[in-house]
Amino acid sequence: MPVVESIWDHWIGKGMMVAAYLMLNISLNMVNKWTISIYGFHFPIALSVAHMAFSFLALAPFMCNKHNRELHYPSVSKQWPGLLFISVCFAVNMGLNNMSLLSISLSLNQVIRSSIPVFTAIGAVVIEQRPPSRQEFLSLLVLVGGVSIAVFEGSSNKASFLGVLLCIIGTMCNGLAMSSIGRLLTEKMDVLRLTFYTAPMTLLVLVPFFNKLEADAFAKYSAHGSGYMGIILLGCLNALLYNLIHSFVIKVTSSVTTTVIGEMKIVLILLLSAIILGESDVWTAKMLLGCTTAILGFCMYSHSRLMAGPQSAPVIIKGVPELAPSLTDSIRAPLMSSTLLMVKPGRS
């Protein structure tokens, strides 16, 4: 449909899409933190299970059309080791990230997650024997220094230390997936197909931990009323819309745009978490220094990647939004048949 294509190609259409992407990404983070910490739904694994189950069920009608049905068997039969690996990594990343929000601020959580490029670079050295350039190495040192200062300042008690540890492990798992998935997946998949394929396996990983750690307390909690279901449904819908808009942003914008979006996203989340979630009390002088240094390192690394030219970026699915969309800017496969949607491919 040329009309749809021309709308997305116009700067107004792209601007609206970028604004929607930022809004949905920020709101997903904010809603997760608010639900788990402030609203009182202290079941982060249950929240993760709900998000994955909802995404799978919502995507099922689109994935059952003729165009996508023909792709399922050849894709899954050839890519199942990579899909299984992504599912495990995503379950650990998503579950531990949400668990960390029980005891640490969203601000600290986001600063820690901005260190994903560090673990991706380590994975590239170990798995691919591909060391970072000197500029990338220096930017990673700045990033590590900033995150270290923020973590030292934010882990002042036993509960927050555990939250920091969980967030770091989840971030490490995310970085491991990003650095190794290029070898495991020989076919590029769009965000939504990948989510559809990995959701059932991710649920198989998460559900046993829910049964062991949260099931009894959740049964008592749900016995007092079902008002929480609306909040959970809102979060699930937010996550699904985020995945949809992310797949479109990748197709119609350049890697420069997605890099700038990633940098804006960090700053906006830090500001809004202080204003809306009441996290202004965590902003000590050391925390401010650490966050500023980490953001500087993140920006330096993102721009050094851009200056290095086109990258063979790995594919990754979104449930817990990562902070560097430029690292995943090569997801180009079409989601739907051309009779449903025509989107102009993005520029590298």
pLDDT of residue 205: 95
Q: Is a pLDDT exceeding 90 seen at residue 347?
A: no
Token pair, residue 181, equals 């998935």
Is the model's pLDDT at 346 over the cut of 90?
Answer: no
**pLDDT of res. 254:** 61
* Average pLDDT of span 204-223: 95
Ramachandran angles phi, psi of 268, nearest 5°:
-65, -40
Q: What is the pLDDT of residues 267-282, one digit of tens each?
A: 888 888 888 888 877 7
Mean pLDDT computed over 45-59: 93
Q: Could you tell me the pLDDT band of residue 201, with boundaries at 50, 70 and 90?
A: very high
Q: How many CA atoms lie within 13 A of 119 on its CB side?
A: 22
Quote the pLDDT of residue 348: 36
Which of 13-17, 157-161, 202-206, 320-324: highest mean pLDDT? 202-206
Q: Which amino acid is at 205?
A: V
Bigger pLDDT: 62 vs 6 = 62
Q: How confident is the model at residue 345 (pLDDT cuts 50, 70, 90)?
A: very low
CA 19 to chain centre: 17
Q: Quick one: pLDDT band at residue 159, thresholds 50, 70, 90?
A: low
Per the CB < 8 A criterion, the answer to whether 177 and 93 are in contact is yes
Please state, in angstroms and as integers, the Cα–Cα distance from residue 311 to each residue in 108, 134, 137, 276, 326, following that order: 29, 17, 17, 37, 9
Return the amino acid letter for 33.
K
> Is 57:237 a contact under the CB 8 Å cutoff?
no
The two structure tokens encoding residue 242:
């985020």
Helices 106-113/134-154 angle, 10° precision:
160
Q: Could you tell me the pLDDT band of residue 209, with boundaries at 50, 70 and 90?
A: very high
Q: What's the alpha-carbon Rg for the chain, to the nearest Å? A: 20
Burial class (CB in 10 A: 0-12, 13-18, 19+), 240: buried
Q: Tell me which DSSP letter residue 224 carries.
A: T
**92: which 2 tokens?**
């650990």
pLDDT at residue 317 is higher than 80? no
Q: For the chain, what are the domain ranges? A: 2-214+227-328
Residue 106 pLDDT > 80: yes
Residue 6 pLDDT: 53
Query: What local confidence, expressed as pLDDT, does residue 11 receive?
Result: 61
Mean pLDDT, range 4-29, rounded to an integer:
75
- For residue 43, what are its two tokens? 């079941």
Distance of CA 57 to the CA centre of its chain: 20
